[in-house]
Amino acid sequence: MSKRVVTPEDLLQLRSVTSPALSNDGEHVIYVETTLHNEKDKYSAELIRASLANPDDSHYVTQGNHINRLPRWSPKDDVVAFLSNRTGTFQLYVLSSWGEPKQLTEEKKGVTDFRWSPDGKRIAYSSTQLLEEEKEEDKLEPLVVNKMKYKSDASGFWHGEYVHIFTVEVDSGKHIQLTDGEFSFQLFDWTADSQQLIVSSAYQENTDFVFTNELLLLSVESKEIIQLTNQTHVISNASASPDGKYIAVRAHEREFDNATHFEIYLLELASNEWTKLTGGWDVQLGPVVAADFLQNIVDPGLVWAGDSQSLTFLVSEQGNVGIYNITVAGEKQAVLTGDNHVYGFSINSEGTTLVAGISESGHPGDLYKVIPGQGEPTRLTSSNDKVLDEFEVIKAEEVRFQHEEGHELQGWLMKPAGFKEGQSYPLIVEIHGGPHAMYANSYLHEFQTLAARGFGVLYINPRGSLGYGQEFVNAVRGDYGGGDYRDIMSALDYVLEQHSWIDESRLGVTGGSYGGFMTNWIVGHTNRFKAAVTQRSISNWTSFYGVSDIGYYFTEWQIQADLNDVDKLWKHSPLAYVNQIETPLLILHGEKDYRCPIEQAEQLYIALKRREKTTTFIRFPESSHELSRSGKPSLRLKRLEAIGEWFERYL
C-alpha cells in the first residue's frame, strides 16, 4: 500500500517524547509526551511511566489536557516531583503510590525550576516574584522604564520581577524563601549534605552591561551567601559531586562574546582550586540544535556518577548530538554517538544503564535504553509508529565538501516525496537562526512538508554555526553577509553539480531570525532564486540596535559596530540593497516578536511595495519569536501552509 505525503496538520498527530527520568532502582522511566491540539489551540503534556524490562507495561500517571513537565525522582523514595499548569500557572507537585498528585506550591507567578535535596526531605525551587504589588489587570498603567534590559521575547515587558529561591518540606509543606531583593537567582543544585544550594546571579543592581554571572553557595538554614567566582564567567550549569568534594561547572570566559564555546571546570571545595577539564577539546558542550518539533526538552547538564569520579553530558559536534563522559582527571570517552540527535538522557548512578531520547532526520524521536559498551540501543517507546506508518517520511542525505577557501562544510539534502529518477524538481535552501546554532541529523517538520509538496530541501551549517570548532563559529562576527553567504552559495553550487535532478531555474530560499536576515541578504545580492520566504527577520541593523530585546549588545557583538558607526550597520543591513531585490518575497512575522521586532518586517515590506516589487506580508497575532517552535498550533499550521503555497506559486 502506498503511503501518503506529510502535511502541516500531521504536526497534530505526532507526539513529542522527551524528558526521561530513570528511577533509582533503574527499573522504570517516567517521561513527557506532548501533543498539539488545533481545536483548543493549545498544547498538552502528560507523564507516562514505563518499565525498562517490558516497555509495553506503561501507563499515564497524569491526565487532563494540561502541561505536566520536568519529572524528577526523589533520591530516596519512589516519589516523583514535577511541574504542572493545571491551576493556570506552573506549580510544584509530588506523586507517590501513583495516586493523586499533591500540590506543594501556590506561587502567584508559578515555579520555574526545582531540585530535590539529596536526603529527599526538601525541594528547592525558583519562582518569579514582584517587588511591589501587582497592578489591577483591567486598569491601564504607564510603563516607566529606567533600564536597557526592560523587555524579553520570552517574558514580555519587565515590571519589577525578580527570580528568587525557596525550599519546601515535602512532608509538612513548610516553605522558606531564601533570597530576596533586586537580584535574580538561577537554581543549579544542592550540595551533598543537603545544607547548601548552588545558585548563580549577576549579583549587581545594574545589569545593562553585565553578561556574566556569579557562582554562589546559599545556606538553606542561615541564608548566608558565599561567592565562589569573581564576575569572570558565563555559567550555564553547575552540579555537586555526591561525595561533597567538587562542583562541576559549565561556563566560559566570553573570549568571543556569545560565540564562545563552553568548557567544564572542576572546583575542589576544600582547596578552592579550579581545574579546566575540557581544555583543548574544541567542541560545543550541550545541545544546540535548530529544529521545530520536539517539546519540553530538558538539557541534563553535568551529571555526576555515584562514585564522584566522572561526569556525563551532551556534546554537539559535526551535525550530531551525542553523550560523553569525562573523569575528574580529564579523560574523555564517548558513551553514545552516531548520526543522530540525542535530545536528553537519564543515567543511573553506576553508569551502567541510561535512557536517551534520540531523533533522526527521518524520525521525530523515541526513548531508547542504552547499556554503555554493550551493543545497540533498545527502543522503549513507539508513540508515533502508527502515524508514521501512514505517510512517507524523507530521510536526508549528508552533504559534505571542501570549500575553496579551505574549510569543510556539512549539510543535508532531502529529495522530494515520490522522487523518480530522470525527472527534475525545484529545490529550497533552508537557513537556520542563531547564527550560533546547528542543523543536525534531527527531524524537522517544516522540511518534511516542503518535500511532500515536491520540493527538494538543502540545509547546511555555514560559518557561524556551532559544532565545527571555535574558529568556525566565531568567523561570522563582523562579517554578516560575507563568508556565511559564500558558504551557502557554494553548498548550492555543489549540490547542483552533484545532482542532475535539481532544476536550477526553480530555486527557493527561506529561513528565520538570522536565517531571515540571510534570506533578505541573498535576494538583495543575487537573482538566481525565483521565490523566497523571510521569517522573523532582521532587515535594518540601525533600528534593530534600539528595538530588539538584545539589540544594543547583540549588534555590537555580532556586527561589531554601534550607532557611532552607522555606515557599517547600514552596510550589513539587507534594507540597503532593496533596490536590487527582484525575487518574489513573502514576509512572515509575529506581532509580539521582541527579539526581531515586527518593525523590521514593516520596513522591508514598505520599501519593497514602494518600489512595486512582488511581496506579501503576513502578520501573526499574539506570536513571539518562537512561533515556529512553540507558537499557537493553529498559527503554526497557517505558517507552514503559507510557506508551501508561496513556493508552489512561484516555483
pLDDT for residue 411 = 98
Residues known to be catalytic: 513, 625
Strand arrangement of the beta sheet that strand 16-22 belongs to: 16-22, 28-37, 42-51, 58-60
Report the alpha-carbon distance of residue 357 to residue 291 in Å, rounded.
Answer: 15
Residue whose C-alpha is closest to residue 46's, from 78, 84, 89, 90? 84
Residue 370: CB partners within 8 Å, gap ≥ 6? 335, 336, 353, 354, 355, 356, 377, 378
- Comparing 205 with 466, which gets the higher pLDDT? 466
pLDDT for residue 65 = 86
Q: Is 459 in contact with 429 (CB distance < 8 Å)?
A: yes
Would strands 502-512 and 425-431 be described as parallel, antiparallel, or unpaired? parallel
Q: Is 64 in contact with 40 (CB distance < 8 Å)?
A: no
Question: What's the average model confidence in pLDDT over 282-305?
Answer: 96
Give the pLDDT band of residue 56 (cuts 50, 70, 90). Answer: confident
Report the alpha-carbon distance of residue 299 to residue 322 in Å, rounded.
Answer: 12
Task: Indicate if the pLDDT at residue 138 is higher than 90.
Answer: no
The model's pLDDT over 577-618, given as tens digits with 9 standing for 90+, comes to 999 999 999 999 999 999 999 999 999 999 999 999 999 999
pLDDT for residue 139 = 84
Task: Indicate if the pLDDT at residue 539 is higher than 80.
Answer: yes
pLDDT for residue 618 = 98
Give the pLDDT band of residue 39 (cuts 50, 70, 90). Answer: confident
pLDDT for residue 349 = 93
Task: Indicate if the pLDDT at residue 135 is higher than 80.
Answer: no
Helices (H) and strands (E) in the chain, counts: 11, 41
Q: How many CB atoms lie within 10 A of CB 648?
A: 15
Q: How many CB atoms lie within 10 A of CB 644?
A: 21
Give the pLDDT band of residue 231 (cuts 50, 70, 90). Answer: confident
pLDDT for residue 2 = 79
Q: Which H, E and C letters describe 340-396, residue by residue?
A: CEEEEEEECCCCCCEEEEEEECCEEEEEEEECCCCCCCEECCCCCHHHHCCEECCCC
pLDDT for residue 99 = 81
Indicate left, alpha or beta for 268 from its phi (over 0: left) and psi (-120 to 50: alpha).
beta
Task: Indicate if the pLDDT at residue 249 is higher than 80.
Answer: yes
Give the pLDDT band of residue 40 (cuts 50, 70, 90). Answer: confident
pLDDT for residue 1 = 58
Q: What's the whole-number average pLDDT of the chain?
A: 96
Task: Indicate if the pLDDT at residue 134 is higher than 80.
Answer: no
**Percent of the chain clearing pLDDT 70 (strictly above):** 99
The amino acid present at 422, given as its one-letter code, is G
Instruction: Identify the three-state secondary structure at position 565.
Output: helix
The model's pLDDT over 305-326, given as tens digits with 9 standing for 90+, comes to 999 999 999 999 999 999 999 9
Domains and CATH numbers, the chain: 394-650 (3.40.50.1820)
Q: Is 20 in contact with 31 (CB distance < 8 Å)?
A: yes
The model's pLDDT over 169-223, given as tens digits with 9 standing for 90+, comes to 999 999 999 999 999 999 999 999 999 999 999 988 899 999 999 999 999 999 9
| Phi, psi for residue 445 in degrees, rounded to 5 | -65, -40
pLDDT for residue 76 = 87
> Which three three-digit cell numbers place residue 357?
531520547
Task: Indicate if the pLDDT at residue 38 is higher than 90.
Answer: no
Q: Which H, E and C letters describe 14-79, residue by residue?
A: CCEEEEEEECCCCCEEEEEEEEEECCCCEEEEEEEEEECCCCCCEEECCCCCCEEEEEEECCCCCE
Q: How many CA atoms lie within 13 A of 518 on its CB side?
A: 32
pLDDT for residue 88 = 95
Give the pLDDT band of residue 296 (cuts 50, 70, 90). Answer: very high
* DSSP bridge partners of 325: 312, 333
Question: What's the average model confidence in pLDDT over 621-635?
Answer: 96
Give the pLDDT band of residue 137 (cuts 50, 70, 90). Answer: low
Report the alpha-carbon distance of residue 181 to residue 279 in Å, rounded.
Answer: 37
> Which three three-digit cell numbers place residue 519?
534570506
Give the pLDDT band of residue 414 (cuts 50, 70, 90). Answer: very high
> Which three three-digit cell numbers place residue 115?
531540585
